[in-house]
Amino acid sequence: MIVSPQTHRFTEPLSLQSGAVLSAYELMYETYGMLNAQRSNAVLICHALNASHHVAGVQVDTQGRAIPRSEGWWDNMIGPGKPLDTNRFFVIGVNNLGSCFGSSGPTHVNPATGETWGADFPVVTVEDWVNAQARLLDVLGIQQLAAVMGGSLGGMQTLSWTLQYPDRVRHAVVVASAPNLTAENIAFNEVARRAIVTDPDFHGGYYLRHGAIPKRGLRIARMIGHITYLSDDVMNDKFGRHLKPLAAQVAHAAALVAEEGDASAGVPAGRAYQYTTQGVEFQIESYLRHQGDKFAEYFDANTYLLITRALDYFDPARQHGGNLSLALAAAKASFLVISFTTDWRFSPARSREIVRGLLQNRRDVSYAEIDAPHGHDAFLLDDPRYLQAVRAYFDHKVSI
Amino acid sequence: MIVSPQTHRFTEPLSLQSGAVLSAYELMYETYGMLNAQRSNAVLICHALNASHHVAGVQVDTQGRAIPRSEGWWDNMIGPGKPLDTNRFFVIGVNNLGSCFGSSGPTHVNPATGETWGADFPVVTVEDWVNAQARLLDVLGIQQLAAVMGGSLGGMQTLSWTLQYPDRVRHAVVVASAPNLTAENIAFNEVARRAIVTDPDFHGGYYLRHGAIPKRGLRIARMIGHITYLSDDVMNDKFGRHLKPLAAQVAHAAALVAEEGDASAGVPAGRAYQYTTQGVEFQIESYLRHQGDKFAEYFDANTYLLITRALDYFDPARQHGGNLSLALAAAKASFLVISFTTDWRFSPARSREIVRGLLQNRRDVSYAEIDAPHGHDAFLLDDPRYLQAVRAYFDHKVSI
């Protein structure tokens, strides 16, 4: 499935929860499959922290050749014959406001000043994103979604859709999410933000004007994030206390592979400690540094602040004295809620709070708690029971 | 109990596990209670990451006045009539090599160069610390300890004592500890270290020569640490999603208290979000920033690297092909092992590994798993069941 993004420019001002107003803005999006004549088969996908509108399919270069490893972030879930089947559904991926992947955000020019927004881009919330997404549906001529679906922060948007636009959503698929962040969740976000904001290259958020990028802070933020995405168990399985092979050992192993064709032949099982405080000793360190380095090359620091704040602020029960059941009374959709046993960032207990709140309102809810070892990351991975739960829901529950 | 530290200078070289040799070094220590005539009532206390030789009692200023809030870090545990009763035992607190609280470390002068050690201070391990502590006991004329005791990293030293000097330890009290770090533990240490090392004020570890201190990195390191010391539950109880009162609200509350004498009268239950990405919104953020700021004022960055590396490297089973039972075969002491249910840094499962390994060697082991809400920090707090377990052990099991 070859896909390419589109952009729509909105000129009607958007009032944000903070009180700020975006006078004009662009949303970048992709669509997969065909909208049917009744316009009743549309499914909106909401993305999480560092994802984008590019949900499924592969992208092509200027010569029309498929770009290697350009699959969308939920390509295992969405496409022809996949659990969310684009032969039947018209699927929309949209990049959120404040992002750095195409929609209006801090790296864009503020039309009022002619300078890049930087730290002046207004704070955006889950509710603001949903309002902007609803306007995109208006443009696409879609009055009601067959379903809205998302994982993690995307699950929060999904939940918010059912509360902000109850008549526009028939089904909601909320994966690995929570009705709000715990103190510990906020704490991890705050440490990541402090790493970015106190990086001398941050310049109060106006780094682009200074020709700088706060890469040190971004690296630390991403490393912290990665720890919370994985389970303790999967980290032990994948990395344990294994030492990083030394360069000489890697070269030796490569030589043996070249010679003997056996990839496992030359890799040493262990080695002596190097006794280093600043160097890499363990494989987990090497992995985290690599993830941090990659992230700092492509992600925008102000976007990181904005998106983690959207996570912090989301709390539909807040206006109802903390009573989630009261907050969820507005929802009319049917729900599929999914959690993963080893997800300690958004634990199954948090998903069960959503389920309980919906049941107290006699909503139609299916709940799957998937026994998966991968922690929060499981929502992006190929767990067969998980994919089957989504497939069965769309096949049997979601009519078009 | 008024206490003051002493220093001993060792001139016999100390060979370290890394192969490096410390030609001369100082250890700072305190003692509480009296060594009996048989020299059989000594208990050594091993400290964790950011603690010191100042374990119990209060310090006095130059005029001999008690300094407010100068109690030792385990003052609730150790003193006259306390669980480890200094009316009966002679207790020794010693600051470890590489620390920044008095014993030789990176902020001291390297006698070979006349400059501060900085990043050149050699990597020290749990085993090295135990060897240095054993030499201090030689100086004090103590051949055998009634007990050695420590929490967290201090528990690792305690365990190592029973393996390195099995004939010099009759009892070992290992609290909230582990036989080694998991991949996740190492990961958190590594992120903290990267925050320090990539701080432009770190200067490769020679910041003192540059008149700089990598405070940004130290703040981030401490914030990460604090998250892992607390349980999710206690964070929710203590901070939840509470917003930080605004300065105007604090002033208003203070005025009401002054007027009405009711401390709870003026504190607003809630307020509107401020919608800030760089400012403080939630109380947990304010708490973490405060902890980070305090820590950066007094802790040495190279010491942080050294001590977290000592944690990473500790793994007595490593020399035995990962078999902890084989590693623990050397121990002769009797053990009290204590863990806390909500400690996710060093979980009860890790303490049970130690207990199982000892039982496989038919060692005498008592194990207490304390149902406490406070996470890893519980080992420093006043949980009555915990304090009673230690008291009962010293009263009834430890003869002198």
pLDDT digits (tens, 9 = 90+) for B176-229: 999 999 999 999 999 999 999 999 999 999 999 999 999 999 999 999 999 999
- Whether the pLDDT of residue B125 is over 70: the answer is yes
Structure confidence at residue A269 (pLDDT): 45
Structure confidence at residue A270 (pLDDT): 64
Question: Does A377 reach chain B within 8 Å, measured CB to CB?
Answer: no
pLDDT in tens, chain A (400 residues): 999 999 999 999 999 999 999 999 999 999 999 999 999 999 999 999 989 999 999 999 989 899 999 999 999 999 999 999 999 999 999 999 999 999 999 999 999 999 999 999 999 999 999 999 999 999 999 999 999 999 999 999 999 999 999 999 999 999 999 999 999 999 999 999 999 999 999 999 999 999 999 999 999 999 999 999 999 999 999 999 999 988 776 666 666 656 655 444 444 446 899 999 999 999 999 999 999 999 999 999 999 999 999 999 999 999 999 999 999 999 999 999 999 999 999 999 999 999 999 999 999 999 999 999 999 999 999 999 999 999 999 999 999 9
- State the Cα–Cα distance between residues A309 and B29, nearest whole angstrom: 46
Beta strands in A12-152 (DSSP E): 14-15, 21-22, 25-32, 42-46, 78-79, 84-85, 90-94, 145-151
Judged by phi (left if over 0) then psi (alpha if -120 to 50, else beta), residue B318 lies in alpha
Query: Do B173 and B397 contact (CB within 8 A), yes or no?
Result: no
Q: What is the mean pLDDT of residues B8-15?
A: 98
Computed over every residue of chain B, the mean pLDDT equals 94
Best of A117, A186, A277, A313 to disrupt the B interface by mutation (most B CBs within 10 Å)? A277
Backbone dihedral angles phi then psi of residue A45, each to the nearest 5 degrees: -105, 125
- Here the tokens at position A337 are 């809620």
- Whether the pLDDT of residue B255 is over 70: the answer is no
Give percent of chain B above pLDDT 90. 90
Structure confidence at residue B270 (pLDDT): 65
- The residue with greater pLDDT, B61 or B259, is B61
Prediction ipTM score: 0.93
DSSP H or E stretch at residue B92: strand B90-94
- State the Cα–Cα distance between residues A35 and A46, nearest whole angstrom: 18
- State the Cα–Cα distance between residues A184 and B229, nearest whole angstrom: 11
Best of B191, B291, B324 to disrupt the A interface by mutation (most A CBs within 10 Å)? B191
Confidence tier at B258 by pLDDT (50, 70, 90): low
Question: Does A288 reach chain B within 8 Å, measured CB to CB?
Answer: yes
pLDDT digits (tens, 9 = 90+) for B345-396: 999 999 999 999 999 999 999 999 999 999 999 999 999 999 999 999 999 9
Structure confidence at residue B64 (pLDDT): 87
End-to-end CA distance of chain B: 22
This prediction has a pTM of: 0.94
- Whether the pLDDT of residue B250 is over 80: the answer is no
When CB atoms are compared, the residue of A182, A204, A232 closest to B232 is: A182
Count of H-run helices and E-run strands, chain B: 11, 12
Question: Does B196 reach chain A within 8 Å, measured CB to CB?
Answer: no
Structure confidence at residue A247 (pLDDT): 76
Question: Does A17 reach chain B within 8 Å, measured CB to CB?
Answer: yes
Confidence tier at B269 by pLDDT (50, 70, 90): very low
Structure confidence at residue A265 (pLDDT): 41
pLDDT digits (tens, 9 = 90+) for B129-187: 999 999 999 999 999 999 999 999 999 999 999 999 999 999 999 999 999 999 999 99
Backbone dihedral angles phi then psi of residue B277, each to the nearest 5 degrees: -95, -25
- State the Cα–Cα distance between residues B338 and B210, nearest whole angstrom: 44
When CB atoms are compared, the residue of A183, A197, A236 closest to B235 is: A183
Query: Do A21 and A15 contact (CB within 8 A), yes or no?
Result: yes
Structure confidence at residue A263 (pLDDT): 46
Give percent of chain B above pLDDT 70. 94
Structure confidence at residue A220 (pLDDT): 98
Known catalytic residues of B?
152, 343, 376
CB proximity under 8 Å: A 251-280 to B: 273, 275-278
Backbone dihedral angles phi then psi of residue A145, each to the nearest 5 degrees: -85, 135
Question: Does B233 reach chain A within 8 Å, measured CB to CB?
Answer: no
Judge: B187–A227 Cβ closer than 8 Å, yes or no: yes
